[in-house]
Structure 1
Amino acid sequence: MSAMIGHAAIEQALDWPALIAQLRDWYVSGGVEAPDRQVLNIRQPDGSDASLLIMPAWVPGQSIGVKVVTFLPANAGKGRPTINAGYLLFDGETGQMKAALDGDTLTARRTAAASALAASHLARADARRLLVVGTGQLAVSVAEAHSAVRTYDSVEVWGRSRDKAAAIAADLAARGLPATLAEDLETACRAADVISTVTASTRPIIRGDWLKPGSHLDLIGAFKGDMRESDDTAIAQADLFVDLRAGATLAGDLSQPLEAGVIAPDHVLADLTELCRGDHPGRTDATARTVFKSAGMALQDLAAADLAAHHIISG
């Protein structure tokens, strides 16, 4: 009998230090096979576009998993989540289904943990000011995960909706983080040591001119070619890192400057596997502006699902 693992159980099983360590271990050890994710376009009755993403991965003889994600941008204007997901985990030896997991919570946890893992290599050790840009499902998780790898004196939240940003900041403060509302995006960016963006923006909202020397920019939200959170300057001036080259370079933050000739493919210095294995030292200059672009990886989903199932099913 397979288990149904919901939101609360996943959050409890995937505490930040354990999940970040799990991802680091899986990146170092290798062995995960993951075909390119499929992104299928779904034309909606009102003429808008939605997306269906299919992300499989397996470790032969150990685990097999697949995540199915829907992305409906029009939901944002209707007060509904834009992203919904489910995850199926199978025994890699017998092929039997072990668990069905809440894919939304799994995605939020693993995405935030991967960015925090990258920041542990790329953000300055003395980083003290964190800015979260966006008020969607990932905002709280990102703030908590980054706070698990650096000690922040200030966590600011900015969003197009001031009320939503204030609510996120209040939630984080209730969780024990030094969180406040950021009233002005440019002012907050200029002061921040680490900026994490979790929006569905289709045009740049972060300007490179706003990023101080030694800052770290964590770009999460824009995962398709027509989406973008940063401008050309932010990318061109940066020491640039990605979760996976094949996926990240298809997202607009990188695909658009690549197509325009603003950067070349070798501008990407390393991926998360190379950082975790020590093939690249990460930040080597205290004044460098680093950027980490993530588009999501099936490895992260399988690693998180495997950890959650181990804790919950094995007890």
Structure 2
Amino acid sequence: MPTLILTRQDVSRLITMPETLKAVERAFTDYATGQASMPPKAYLTLEKGDFRAMPAAVPGAAGVKWINVHMGNTDKGLPSIMGIIIYSDPDTGYPLAIMDGTEITAYRTGAAAAIASKHLARKEALSLGLIGAGNQADTQLIAHLEYFRFEEIRVYDRSTEAATKFRERFAGNPVRITSLAEACGADIVCTLTPSRAPFLKRQWLKPGTHINAIGADAPGKQELEPDVLEAATVVVDDIYQSTHAGELNVLISTGLFSEKQIYGTLGELTSGRKPGRTTDDAITVFDSTGLAIQDIACARFIYEKALAQGAGHQFDFIRE
């Protein structure tokens, strides 16, 4: 039985956002209905960064992602986030593929936020605010454009150069570089920073705003001021991860927010177990920590496409 090696270039050629959206939404539903399993991600924190081990199983597939976050890597010409996925046969444990997980991480994170926006944002949302103009901003926009037609895309980054490059990458779209407060005044707001100090203020939000809180994915990280969450309907990807390492982790540890205040999980919305937005003026928040089920669901369709197209390099992992 061969093992397939897929590089970042291989994965980039195989992955598409429509397929990612379909796979990720299915994974959330499977998780909510007990058809997928996933223990909490394990963190290894070092002086200059951290690693996360993320195992999961979805129907017909199992695997683990080993991913790092080293913010100083940009000075060394390396991505700040890199990942490897080991994709295994659930019946035998044989490693069917070892593939780059960096592009998968970016795509599935953008997909999860767009799916949350589909269920929680106002249907007539016409503006998108992106706080942070790095690589994750790209897939956030690409994913949201599958569901929404924006009249305005507001982008803010502390680096004017990064914001300008983002606008150039999406020159065919109505992208405008704005202040932080103005970007937060959009119909849908995506926070995409590694901040450990909350910066998004309640007074910047208009009634009916939906927020995708993406950046807080490890203990101590926080992007939203406490009164934003206090006033919001809060949906999470996973209760354990969100309360221990997501946007909620600091507030829960200090007693400013309770797990009982969580409305539900995204899987409960995608499966129809709970409704999404029910009123036009509600503030809604999706706390995204990133789930291994998303990665393995995407790895499954990428592996199947790679086999069909003859992509990658095959070798016998056991006998070579």
TM-score by length of structure 1 reads 0.91
Q: 1:297 aligns with which of 278, 291, 295?
A: 291
When residues 172 and 8 of structure 1 are mapped into structure 2, their CA distance, relative to the original with a 3 A threshold, is farther
Which residue number corresponds to residue 6 of structure 2? 5
Residues 42-95 of structure 1: CA deviation (Å, up to 9, x unaligned) = 23xxxxx421110011247x2221100111233356564321111111122232
Which residue number corresponds to residue 38 of structure 1? 42
Residues in 1 aligned to 2:12 and 2:109: alpha-carbon distance in whole angstroms: 13
Which residue number corresponds to residue 27 of structure 1? 28
Aligned residue type for 2:177? L
Residues in 1 aligned to 2:30 and 2:211: alpha-carbon distance in whole angstroms: 27
The alignment covers a number of residue pairs equal to 305
Q: 1:280 aligns with which of 249, 274, 277?
A: 274
Which residue number corresponds to residue 178 of structure 1? 174
Residues in 1 aligned to 2:303 and 2:78: alpha-carbon distance in whole angstroms: 28
Secondary structure of the 2:222 match is: coil
Residues in 1 aligned to 2:211 and 2:76: alpha-carbon distance in whole angstroms: 30
Q: Which has the higher contact order (CA 8 A, sep 6+)?
A: 2
Which residue number corresponds to residue 94 of structure 1? 92
Q: 2:300 aligns with which of 284, 292, 306?
A: 306
When residues 216 and 79 of structure 1 are mapped into structure 2, their CA distance, relative to the original with a 3 A threshold, is farther
Task: Point out where structure 1 has 5 or more consecutive residues left out of the alignment.
Answer: 44-48
> Pairwise CA RMSD of aligned residues?
1.7
Does the 8 Å CA contact 1:189/1:195 hold for their aligned counterparts? yes
What are the residue-to-residue correspondences of 1:60-79 with 2, within 5 Å?
62-76=60-74
Segments of 4+ moved more than 6 angstroms: none
Percent identical pairs in the alignment equals 31
When residues 7 and 77 of structure 1 are mapped into structure 2, their CA distance, relative to the original with a 3 A threshold, is closer
Residues in 2 aligned to 1:189 and 1:29: alpha-carbon distance in whole angstroms: 33
Aligned residue type for 1:198? L
Which residue number corresponds to residue 184 of structure 2? 189
Does the 8 Å CA contact 1:206/1:231 hold for their aligned counterparts? yes
Judge which range, 300-309 or 129-138, deviates more.
129-138
Which residue number corresponds to residue 219 of structure 1? 213
Does the 8 Å CA contact 1:59/1:92 hold for their aligned counterparts? no
Does the 8 Å CA contact 1:86/1:102 hold for their aligned counterparts? yes
Residues in 1 aligned to 2:216 and 2:29: alpha-carbon distance in whole angstroms: 26
Task: Point out where structure 2 has 5 or more consecutive residues left out of the alignment.
Answer: 310-320
